[in-house]
Amino acid sequence: MSLFDKAIAAVTPPESQQKRDEARAKATAAAEPGDWLSLVLDQHRQLESSFAAVKSASDPASRTAALKKLGVILTGHAIAEEAVLYPGLAQAGEKGHAEMGYTEQVAVKMQMAALETLGPMSSDFLDKLEHIRGAVAHHMFEEEGTWFLELKQKAPADVQARLTQRFQEEFDRYIGDDAAGGAMREARSWDDARPPA
Ligand SMILES: [Fe+2]
């Protein structure tokens, strides 16, 4: 296991699924329709379904395609957070949490790049995928249960409006209308196609 695998394994969800569900419920209660937090939660759910699609793909071509889609959404989401929300968190007085956010997302980017080099149907691939999924789940738990609630509470209304506009802008700039846009649309259609829980 490489040093980066160890770093990721070390943060693989120490919290239970129940705690993660509670964090999501808190963040959902704090979000308002169309605001930056509701956009974040929407993207977090799309990330979860995209990870599941990679895992459940049954042949190399479909797994590679699903990984590509996951990577597009993950990178677009991370860029928008790093350009807008983490700076907003620092400006609201939570610089330590902002720095933790950047650090964790760097580790995920390193691991996603490494994942691309592995045979898509190998056990190493599934092992690394699970480490990354766990690290992202923990990261989302921190955002939903603590960091973004702080940002929601501390930033004044005019800042909140600007965060929403800028977060949407940065995400759309990366996802765009090109081929990558299809990844987002398809991710949404996967969500739509999922049977109700
Ligand atoms: Fe996030």
Question: In which residue are the tokens 């990261």 written?
Answer: 139
Written as tens digits, the pLDDT of the chain (197 aa) is 555 555 555 556 689 999 999 999 999 999 999 999 999 999 999 999 999 999 999 999 999 999 999 999 999 999 999 999 999 999 999 999 999 999 999 999 999 999 999 999 999 999 999 999 999 999 999 999 999 999 999 999 999 999 999 999 999 999 976 444 455 555 555 455 545 44
49 DSSP 8-state letter:
H
CA of 135 to the centre of ligand 1 (A): 12
CA of 75 to the centre of ligand 1 (A): 10
CA of 12 to the centre of ligand 1 (A): 16
Q: Show the domains of the chain with their CATH numbers.
A: 3-9+16-191 (1.20.120)
How many residues can be counted in the chain? 197
The pTM of this model reads: 0.85
Q: Residue 6 is encoded by which pair of tokens?
A: 């160890």
**Residues within 5 A (CB) of ion ligand 1:** 143
Question: In which residue are the tokens 């699970």 written?
Answer: 130
CA of 143 to the centre of ligand 1 (A): 6
Separation between Cα atoms, residue 176 and residue 181, nearest integer Å: 5
Other beta carbons within 10 angstroms of residue 104's beta carbon come to 20
For the purposes of burial, counting CB atoms within 10 Å of the CB of 159, is it exposed (0-12), middle (13-18) or buried (19 or more)? middle
CA of 161 to the centre of ligand 1 (A): 18
Q: Residue 116 is encoded by which pair of tokens?
A: 């691309």
Q: CA 113, 119, 120, 124 torsion: positive or negative? A: negative
